[in-house]
């Protein structure tokens, strides 16, 4: 027994329940799903959309727009209208042009959610280096005031916004859906915009936001308003557009600066299309997915992606991920995470989530090839260029959850235009981003059959061996410590569960599921150094128990936090019970580490290093570093060879050496920084800025802190 073991034993006895309770909640209620029919896009003529100002969902109204529906790709549809036509009243032509917008490509800026359209999360800044990062100090701090611990009428806040630095301003979107513009050098407030949004848990159980998006005209007209616009979406499906210099509403956008996206929620409109993820902006167009409500319904809004005119909000096309003929039995397969886009080819890459109901597919047994896929769309038309399904007949809620990272890699002496698609399953799919063909092999392997009446699990699933998955192939095994404290409870429990490796289907007796819906990897995805070809990603190692409950036995009992408890799954044959595998004391029954961060050489597929990351903190006590921490958020990489990341339970932000994974610097913040930082250079000084919001999945600790770090003057 080494020192850590000894400490572990004593602490675990003292803190029975601590880690476990945290992990018990750690499931993916981040699953911001919702959803429409498969692989279809439509293009629209959209005069009617600008008067979509009603607060009430226009759910069952006939979509009155003149549109045509075109099947596209494997089962998809596109509603098309006058895509590419000049927007009415916009002033300038908004025909999509190849190539990135100039304002987005500045090496000093951090202009999008993922840093750039390619979701590389990479900054060419090199002022802060591994040698001097130890001197990093807090440059300024700001509090938005938009925070709730859930103790009053407003649900608890979950804030995962990436601050945007562009237009010499730092823009933030809050979980109360305000936009705040700050001076990037000192954090002084420039202006704020408050849409007076409904602060109700209409779909997600918490007030959530991942921030704002920014657009700028190619040639902004001086003195004219709304040549630069900042957008924020709300949980009740409103998209606001305000002038980036003043914070005033843009009158030409939607109805006086507000576009009601729920006007397009016309099928199975059980809840609003929550706009928690800011849109992707490219060539005067906004690409917009949405989030919904997981696990409650069988039939739900089917997944769509909208392409909107950046100036007016007019809809150019709508992509549908599900075929029309199945939407009376299923839904979702929506895009709730961020997207990436190749500005050279004009292809939009969307991570499509799983269809509803999430854990029983007996009433949606036909192939839904765009569900749980990574799909490339033509930005002009919304048509599917290629698609690759990452889970067949998904009954584990393995949403494709993160944007693929686009990067050119060197393989066999050739430059390959690639993408890296992280997954909840733990696989890193490396594909040719022009064709969708694997760069490293993807093998269809036989997987266990379902023993539940009515279910038809897919006979094979795609597996990836290179790069090595972010989590082990097999579950970590019983933690002796937890088993000892539980007087053998963990072992006894495991014996009664079904486990036959990855993709063991949910069962009546309970299936030990590894990885479960928490992942593996989560919505943050990874970061890449495009010059070195090194990809970095944080991941979780969690074990959960999936149990189906026959409808006549199902009772709607309680739910624990966002991610555990009983879920009806509509009126399908089975309800569902989700449980994290814990002993009576709340300790995880599986072996640590619970979270790691790893680096991969994409040119060879080799994993360079893989280290426990962060520390579990419960009741104030920090668990051993070798345990790691479940993480929510994502890393960014700088040219100087640093990784900056918050994400961990222990409310610390860190800088790691890209070469070794060694922690070179860390700093305490007010709550877990469940976001990705922005790295930018302003007036010659490099800043690293974190939005510190917290997430109850990790810890019941919330904050409204924005904190920026820089080297001393």
Partner 1 sequence: MTNKAQGTAYGAWLLLAISIIALILAAVATFNEGNGIAYTPGTYLVLISTALMLVGSLLLTFARGMPRWLGGLIAFLLLLDLLGTGLAAYLLQAEWLLVSIGIGLVAWLVHAIADPATGKRDRTMTLRQEAAS
Closer residue to partner 1, CB minimum distance, 10 or 95: 10
| For partner 1, the closer CB: 532 or 666 | 666
Interface residue with partner 1, options 362, 622, 660, 685 (CB under 8 A): 622
For residues 642 and 129, is the Cβ–Cβ distance under 8 A?
yes
Distance of closest approach, residue 123 Cβ to partner 1, in angstroms: 27
Window 570-609: contact mask with partner 1 (x via CB under 8 A) = ----------------------------------------
Whole-number minimum distance, CB 145 to partner 1, in Å? 16
Among 24, 650, 688, 694, binds partner 1 (CB under 8 A): 650
**Least CB distance from residue 401 to partner 1, whole Å?**
29
Cis geometry, peptide bond prior to residue 467 (ω within 30 degrees of 0): yes
Residue 532 CA to residue 528 CA, distance in Å, equals 8
Q: Which residue has the tokens 């050119």?
A: 408
User: Scanning the structure block, which residue is given the tokens 């848990």?
Assistant: 201
- The residue among 620 and 712 lying less far from partner 1, judged by its C-beta, is 620
As a whole number of angstroms, the distance between CA 528 and CA 392 comes to 28
What is the C-alpha to C-alpha distance for residues 214 and 27, in angstroms, rounded to an integer? Answer: 31
C-alpha 190/C-alpha 570 separation (Å) is 47
Does position 160 interact with partner 1 (CB under 8 A)? The reply is: no
Considering the complex, state which of residue 445 and residue 619 has its C-beta at the smaller distance from partner 1: 619
Specify the stretch interacting with partner 1 by CB under 8 A; choose among 10-18, 150-158, 389-397, 559-567. 10-18
Q: Based on CB atoms, which residue is closest to partner 1, 316 or 618?
A: 618
Helices within 145-225 (DSSP H only)? none
DSSP three-state, residue 21: helix
Please state the closest distance from residue 478 (CB atom) to partner 1, in A: 24
Question: Which range touches partner 1 (CB under 8 A), out of 306-314, 333-341, 401-409, 616-624?
Answer: 616-624
Specify the stretch interacting with partner 1 by CB under 8 A; choose among 156-164, 423-431, 644-652, 688-696.
644-652
Kindly indicate which of the ranges 6-14, 26-34, 579-587, 653-661 contains the residues binding partner 1, using the contact rule CB under 8 A: 6-14
Q: For residue 406, which of 363, 441, 376 has the smallest C-alpha distance?
A: 376
The correct pick among 10, 86, 102, 487 for binding partner 1 (CB under 8 A) is 10
Q: Select the residue interacting with partner 1 from 651, 675, 681, 695 (CB under 8 A).
A: 651
Q: Which of the stretches 7-15, 365-373, 487-495, 592-600 binds partner 1 when contact is defined by CB under 8 A?
A: 7-15
Q: What is the DSSP string of 73-131?
A: TTTEEEEESSTTSPPTT-SS-----SS--GGG--TT-B-STTSSTT---EE---SS-TT
CB of 588: closest distance to partner 1 in angstroms?
17
Comparing CA positions, the residue from 234, 236, 201, 208 lying closest to residue 695 is 208
CA dihedral 405, 408, 410, 414 (to 10 degrees): 140
Query: Which span (3-11, 256-264, 564-572, 675-683) binds partner 1, by CB under 8 A?
Result: 3-11
Closer CB to partner 1, 33 or 650, in the complex: 650
How near is the Cβ of 14 to partner 1 at its closest, in Å?
A: 8
Stretch that binds partner 1, among 115-123, 277-285, 569-577, 621-629 (CB under 8 A): 621-629
Binding-site size for partner 1 (CB under 8 A) equals 15
Choose between 108 and 670: whose C-beta lies nearer to partner 1: 670
Supply 273's token pair: 């299309």
Nearest distance, CB of residue 694 and partner 1, angstroms: 12
Closest CB 136 distance from partner 1, rounded Å:
18
Q: Does 7 bind partner 1 (CB under 8 A)?
A: yes
Q: Are 702 and 152 in contact (CB under 8 A)?
A: no
Tell me the window of 260-268, 454-462, 550-558, 645-653 that interacts with partner 1 (CB under 8 A): 645-653
Locus of tokens 């849109």: 279
Query: Would you say 215 or 627 has its CB closer to partner 1?
Result: 627
Alpha helices in 411-495 (DSSP H): 480-485, 489-495
Q: Nearest to residue 23, comparing CAs of 603, 578, 509?
A: 578
Part of the chain binding partner 1 (CB under 8 A), chosen from 80-88, 300-308, 629-637, 646-654? 646-654
Among positions 445, 480, 492, 619, the unique one binding partner 1 when judged by CB under 8 A: 619
Q: How far is the CB of 356 from partner 1 (least distance, A)?
A: 39
Q: Which is nearer to partner 1, 9 or 251 (CB)?
A: 9
Please enumerate in sequence order all residues whose Cβ is within 8 A of that of 398, keeping only pairs 6 or more positions apart, or say none: 354, 372, 390, 391, 423, 424, 425, 517
Q: Which helix (H) or strand (E) holds 528?
A: strand 527-529
Closest CB 11 distance from partner 1, rounded Å: 6
Q: How far is the CB of 622 from partner 1 (least distance, A)?
A: 5
- Contact criterion met (CB below 8 Å) for 372 and 390: yes
- Complex with partner 1: residue 489 or 670, whichever CB lies closer: 670
- Rule CB under 8 A: say whether 617 interacts with partner 1: yes
CB of 518 closer than 8 Å to CB of 579: no
Question: HEC string of 600-629?
Answer: EECCCCEEEEEEECCCCEECCEECCHHHCC
Q: Report in angstroms how near the CB of residue 19 gets to partner 1 at its nearest.
A: 12
Give every CB contact of residue 543 below 8 A, 6+ residues apart in sequence: 475, 476, 512, 513, 514, 516, 580, 581, 588, 589, 590
Contact region with partner 1 (CB under 8 A), list: 32-40, 152-160, 619-627, 679-687:
619-627
How open is the CA angle 343-345-351, to the nearest 5 degrees? Answer: 75
Nearest distance, CB of residue 672 and partner 1, angstroms: 11
Spell out the long-range contacts of 268-271 with Cβ–Cβ below 8 A and sequence spacing 24 or more: 268/35, 268/297, 268/299, 268/300, 268/301, 268/302, 268/327, 268/331, 269/57, 269/59, 269/60, 269/301, 270/297, 270/299, 270/300, 270/301, 271/34, 271/202, 271/203, 271/300, 271/301
Provide the minimum distance between the beta carbon of 498 and partner 1 in the complex, in angstroms, as a whole number: 37
* Pairing, β 189-193 against β 179-182: antiparallel
Q: Give min distance, CB of 13 to partner 1, in A.
A: 11
Residues 662-701 that bind partner 1 (CB under 8 A): 668, 670
- Cβ neighbors of 98 (< 8 A, separation 6 or more) are 343, 344, 345, 346
The residue (of 11 and 341) whose beta carbon lies closer to partner 1 is 11
> Which residue lies nearer to partner 1 by CB, 1 or 668?
668
Residues 211-240 that bind partner 1 (CB under 8 A): none
Kind of pairing, strands 122-123 and 137-143?
unpaired
Nearest approach in angstroms of CB 619 to partner 1 is: 4
620 near partner 1 (CB under 8 A): yes
Binding residues for partner 1 (CB under 8 A)? 7, 10-11, 14, 617, 619-623, 650-652, 668, 670
């Amino acid at each position: 027994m080494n020192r850590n073991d000894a400490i572990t034993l004593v602490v675990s006895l003292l803190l029975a329940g601590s880690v476990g309770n945290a992990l018990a909640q750690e499931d993916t209620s981040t699953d911001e799903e919702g959803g429409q029919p498969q692989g279809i896009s439509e293009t629209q003529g959209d005069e009617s959309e600008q008067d979509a100002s009603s607060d009430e969902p226009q759910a069952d109204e006939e979509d009155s727009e003149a549109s045509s529906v075109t099947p596209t790709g494997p089962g998809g549809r596109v509603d098309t209208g006058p895509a590419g036509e000049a927007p009415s009243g916009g002033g300038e032509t908004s025909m999509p042009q190849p190539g990135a917008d100039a304002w987005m490509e500045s090496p000093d800026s951090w202009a999008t959610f993922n840093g750039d359209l390619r979701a590389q999360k990479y900054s060419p800044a090199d002022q802060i280096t591994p040698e001097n990062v130890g001197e990093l100090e807090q440059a300024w701090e700001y509090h938005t005031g938009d925070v709730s611990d859930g103790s009053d009428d407003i649900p608890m806040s979950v804030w995962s916004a990436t601050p945007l630095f562009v237009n010499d301003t730092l823009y933030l979107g809050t979980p109360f859906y305000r936009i705040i513009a700050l001076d990037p050098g000192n954090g002084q407030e420039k202006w704020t915009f408050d849409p007076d949004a409904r602060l109700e848990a209409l779909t997600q159980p918490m007030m959530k936001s991942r921030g704002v998006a920014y657009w700028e005209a190619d040639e902004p007209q001086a003195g004219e308003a709304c040549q630069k616009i900042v957008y924020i979406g709300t949980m009740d499906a409103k998209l606001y557009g305000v002038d980036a210099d003043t914070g005033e509403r843009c009158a030409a956008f939607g109805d006086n600066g507000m576009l009601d996206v729920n006007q397009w929620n016309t099928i199975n409109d059980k809840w609003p299309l929550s706009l928690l993820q800011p849109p992707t902006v490219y060539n005067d167009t906004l690409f917009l997915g949405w989030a919904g409500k997981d696990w409650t319904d069988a039939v739900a809004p089917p997944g769509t992606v909208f392409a909107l005119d950046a100036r007016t909000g007019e809809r150019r096309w709508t992509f549908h991920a599900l075929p029309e003929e199945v939407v009376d039995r299923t839904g979702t397969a929506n895009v709730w995470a961020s997207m990436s886009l190749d500005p050279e080819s004009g292809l939009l890459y969307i991570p499509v989530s799983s269809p509803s109901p999430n854990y029983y597919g007996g009433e949606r047994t036909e192939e839904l090839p765009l569900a749980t896929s990574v799909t490339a769309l033509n930005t002009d038309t919304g048509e599917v260029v290629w698609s690759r399904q990452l889970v067949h007949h998904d009954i584990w809620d393995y949403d494709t959850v993160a944007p693929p990272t686009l990067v050119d890699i060197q393989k066999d002496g050739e430059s390959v235009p690639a993408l890296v698609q992280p997954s909840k399953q733990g696989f890193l799919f490396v594909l040719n981003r022009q064709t969708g063909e694997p760069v490293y092999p993807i093998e269809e392997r036989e997987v266990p059959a379902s023993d539940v009446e009515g279910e038809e699990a897919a006979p094979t699933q795609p597996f990836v061996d290179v790069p090595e998955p972010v989590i082990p192939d097999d579950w970590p095994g019983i933690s002796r410590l937890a088993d000892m404290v539980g007087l053998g409870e963990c072992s006894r429990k495991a014996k009664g569960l079904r486990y036959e490796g990855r993709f063991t289907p949910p069962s009546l007796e309970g299936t030990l599921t590894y990885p479960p819906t928490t992942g593996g990897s989560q919505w943050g995805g990874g970061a890449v150094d495009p010059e070195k070809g090194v990809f970095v990603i944080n991941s979780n190692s969690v074990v959960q128990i999936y149990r189906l409950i026959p409808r006549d036995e199902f009772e709607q009992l309680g739910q624990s936090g966002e991610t555990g408890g009983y879920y009806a799954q509509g009126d399908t044959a089975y309800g569902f019970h989700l449980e994290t595998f814990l002993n009576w004391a709340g300790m995880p029954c599986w072996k640590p580490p619970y979270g790691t961060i790893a680096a991969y050489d994409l040119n060879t597929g080799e994993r360079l290093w893989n280290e426990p990351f962060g520390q579990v903190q419960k009741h104030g006590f920090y668990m051993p570093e070798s345990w790691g921490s479940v993480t929510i958020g994502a890393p960014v990489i700088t040219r100087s060879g640093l990784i900056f990341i918050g994400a961990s339970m222990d409310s610390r932000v860190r800088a790691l050496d890209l070469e070794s994974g060694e922690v070179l610097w860390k700093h305490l913040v007010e709550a877990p920084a469940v976001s990705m930082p922005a790295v930018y250079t302003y007036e010659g000084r490099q800043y690293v800025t974190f939005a510190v919001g917290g997430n109850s999945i990790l810890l019941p600790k919330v904050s409204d802190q924005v904190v920026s770090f820089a080297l001393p003057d």
